[in-house]
Structure 1
Amino acid sequence: MARIVSETLDNGLPLHRIRVDGTRATTILIAFDAGARAERRDENGMAHFLEHVVFKGGEKYEDHRTINRTAEQLGARTNAATSHDLVAFHITVRAEAAPQAIDLVTDFVARPRLDENHLDMERGVVAQEIARYLDQPAYVASRMSALATFGDHPLGRPVLGRVEHLPTFTRAALLSFRQRRWAGCRGGAFIIGNIDHVSDDGEISDLFERFPTLEEPEPYESAPDFLPRTLVERRDTNQSHLRMSYRLDYDVTDAKARAAARICAIILGGSPSSRFNDEIREQRGLCYSISAGIRECADVGVLNLAAGLASANCVEAYTRMREIVAELCAQGPTDEEVARARAVAAGRRVLAFEDTYTVALHTAHQAIVHHGDLDPDALIAELDAVTIDDVHDIASAIDPDKPSVACLGPHDAEEF
């Protein structure tokens, strides 16, 4: 079991220190419930853009060059990520350098300069990032799938946003978004791994109190009712990218149900012996890539299926994938399938949790999105404890006749 010490700072920001034995690394991660889901329609992409521009300089480390060189002198790995649920900043260092790393990351994240000249330059950088992703058919198909599943709702809009929004992301607009969404009570700071060099005399807490005290944000927009759509972008290519999504009917705040949903997805398409991979790829040779996974937001869970395949095989694969989902819904899994999937899920997590950053990001989701147990070992125990009845409960609640469908390739919507 990890050893966890938590406190809430004067600015409302929870600070969690989680000691993980057997590592010489420390990850410091700061996250807020301020991802793309928190954006208004005309702000789409702002959370991601703000994630970029804080790296341009803070009060003490005044520009990107100073930040980068300081991080290199610490031997650090630093980055950030924006999803629909969270914006998260992290730095991972050898344990001895943790205090200096905390000083660095809290400076530019909590006290960014947001210089107008830097904003102008970064708009061009982000525009190139968006263009790069739009050149990737698999990304476009996944973006279409979110729209087919959630429609014109924040969960259906792209995290990267739209190029035409970038000119509106002024310094005043970014400061307003931060003021509205980056409240300590809807975020968290996490020090994970070897914390032998992190003092508990208040000095470290003072660094995290560089974040201002802000009022609690307004609630985000609840997930919409599920109205499955079929979206096809016709392209004259030899390869098609197929996506299917089913709304899951379970309480996403229930850790046991979340674990069972993961096992259900692995049985369908999350491992080499999964039903999709075994039949559609290995026996029928219809595709090279096929998978199933769970998209789990704060108030909704979705089963996402994906396949990349020769266009001539697309409709046959789509038809059989729907049949396999229907079979699992009606008949449930076998004991052997559940046992294998449990081993896969728990084993992958054990290996992933060798990395302190992965532990930190998982913990942030637990604390901020799901309000669950922060101990990483708890997730492994939950996966190990999933029963065949738990998985059957998840599968039997799926409506196999109502997937949302997205496809990019030489097809028409009527084919699906």
Structure 2
Amino acid sequence: MTAISSSTAPNGLPIHRVQLDGTRAVTALVAFDAGARTERAEENGMAHFLEHLVFKGGEKYVTYRDVNETAENLGAQLNAYTSHDLVAFHITARAEKALEAIDLLTDFVGRPRLDGEELDRERGVVIQEIARSNDQPSTVAEHVIDRAAFGDHPLGRPVLGPEEHLRDTFTREAIVAFRQRQWAGSRGGAFVVGNLEHLPANGALDELFDRFPDLPAPPPYEPAPGFAPRTLVEERDSNQSHLRMMYRPAIDATDRRARAALAIYSTLLGGSMGSRLFDEIREQRGLAYSVYALSHAFSDVPILQLSAGLESGKAVEAYTRMREIVAELRTEGPTVEEVERARAYAAGARVLAFENTNAVARHAANQTIVFGEEVDPDAAIAALDAVTYDEVAEVARGIADELAIGVVGPHTVADFA
């Protein structure tokens, strides 16, 4: 059994300690319900830009050099990510350096300087990041399918935001205001995962995490819209196309067991080399060099996405057959054997991922902040192991033949009518 304990810092930030036996590493991760979903339209891209800016230094580690060199002197790996759901910062170090690593992380993330000159310099860096993503058709396809599925809702906007926001509207005052509005301890969490034997029991950990300001809870984010899917094509003169298809499964996103059943379904559909999509679209028909399915659940809406990268001349045939495979699973159901294989594969993949302290910390942050559920990694594995055939078959029946379509390549909307 995984040993887990929790406390709350004076600023309201929950602190979860997850002891993992057999590792020499520890990961400290701090996350907030302050991802792109929480942005107003004029703020799109601000959550990600703020993620960049805090690395420029805090009160104790004043400059970006202080932050970077301290992490290297600890032998630690330092990083962050912004999604629609969350913004998170994490450091992984050898267990003996855990308290020093947390001291570094909580200083520049909890007490960032947000220097105006550094802000202006970083604008250019993020603008280049946006330009790079726009040069990558597979990334553009992700943006297109989000717009096709969610329209102008925050879930339909790119996490990086538009270039003009970086150039024209992101002032230091606006960024500080966003942080003050969204980075509340009550809508966040700190997670310390791995070998915890070198952490003191004298309250030092809570004191470090109390460096984050005590802020009021943010307003609720905009609920996910009803499903009004569209077909969107970004035409590019290319021999290669990137196809995305998004369904909205008929499950309750807040039901952990239903999410686990959806994960098994997406695995047998396109999550492994034994899946239906990989076997037929790639191996039997040779229609795509990359084809897969994945499921995701935001706090109030689940999605199922099918993706393919392929020669443009084969895109329509691949799309047609991929849609037929989903329909066949809806009407005929999966086989018992493929459900058993997919369940074993999905649970095994989760076990292997959880050998990494960072993966456990990231999963724990998503579970507790997005869904308000327990952080126990053993429970996540058990949830997959417990999925039944009937539950997966029910998910398959609930994938209606209504989908958003996003394509990048030499096509028109009429090709996918």
Q: Residue type of the partner of 2:224? A: A
Q: How far apart in 1 are the matches of 2:296 and 2:316?
A: 24
1:111 maps to 111
Cα-to-partner distance string for 1:234-276 (whole Å, 9 max, x where unaligned):
1121111100000111111111111100011011111111111
CA RMSD, 1 decimal: 0.7
Judge conservation of contact 1:253–1:371 (CA < 8 Å) in 2.
no
SS at match of 1:285: coil
Identity percentage over the alignment? 63
2:233 maps to 232
Judge conservation of contact 1:17–1:191 (CA < 8 Å) in 2.
yes
2:6 maps to 6
Deviation at 1:186, TM superposition (A): 0.1
Q: How far apart in 1 are the matches of 2:155 and 2:295?
A: 14
Deviation at 1:196, TM superposition (A): 0.5
Q: Residue type of the partner of 2:226? A: D
1:178 maps to 179
Q: Residue type of the partner of 2:22? A: G
Q: Residue type of the partner of 1:55? A: F
2:70 corresponds to 1:70: yes
1:122 maps to 122
2:58 corresponds to 1:58: yes
SS at match of 2:355: coil
Judge conservation of contact 2:267–2:342 (CA < 8 Å) in 1.
yes
Residue ranges of structure 2 left out of the alignment (5+ in a row):
none
Q: How far apart in 2 are the matches of 1:396 and 1:256?
A: 16
Cα-to-partner distance string for 1:327-361 (whole Å, 9 max, x where unaligned):
00111111100111011101111111111000000
Q: How far apart in 2 are the matches of 1:249 and 1:182?
A: 32
Q: Residue type of the partner of 2:407? A: C
Cα-to-partner distance string for 1:139-177 (whole Å, 9 max, x where unaligned):
001110000000000000000111100132221111100
Residue ranges of structure 1 left out of the alignment (5+ in a row):
none
1:379 maps to 380
Judge conservation of contact 2:8–2:206 (CA < 8 Å) in 1.
no
2:90 maps to 90
Q: How far apart in 2 are the matches of 1:73 and 1:373?
A: 34
2:102 maps to 102
Q: How far apart in 2 are the matches of 1:78 and 1:286?
A: 40
2:31 corresponds to 1:28: no
2:303 maps to 302
Q: Residue type of the partner of 1:115? A: D
2:337 maps to 336
Judge conservation of contact 1:19–1:192 (CA < 8 Å) in 2.
yes
1:150 maps to 150
Q: How far apart in 2 are the matches of 1:133 and 1:261?
A: 29
Cα-to-partner distance string for 1:88-141 (whole Å, 9 max, x where unaligned):
000000000001011100000010000100000000000001111110000001
Q: What is the number of equivalent residue pairs in this alignment? A: 415
Q: Residue type of the partner of 2:231? A: T
2:371 maps to 370
Deviation at 1:227, TM superposition (A): 0.3
Aligned counterparts, 1:396-407, within 5 A:
396-400=397-401, 402-407=402-407
Judge conservation of contact 1:145–1:243 (CA < 8 Å) in 2.
yes
Segment drifting more, 293-302 vs 40-49: 293-302
SS at match of 1:248: coil
Deviation at 1:295, TM superposition (A): 2.1
Q: How far apart in 2 are the matches of 1:16 and 1:200?
A: 14
Segment drifting more, 328-337 vs 36-45: 328-337
Deviation >3 Å, runs of 4+ = none
2:275 corresponds to 1:268: no
1:358 maps to 359
Q: Residue type of the partner of 1:173? A: A
Q: How far apart in 2 are the matches of 1:365 and 1:36?
A: 15
Q: Residue type of the partner of 1:318? A: Y
1:245 maps to 246
Q: How far apart in 1 are the matches of 2:370 and 2:287?
A: 38
Deviation at 1:200, TM superposition (A): 1.9
Q: Residue type of the partner of 1:356? A: T
1:187 maps to 188
Judge conservation of contact 1:111–1:210 (CA < 8 Å) in 2.
yes
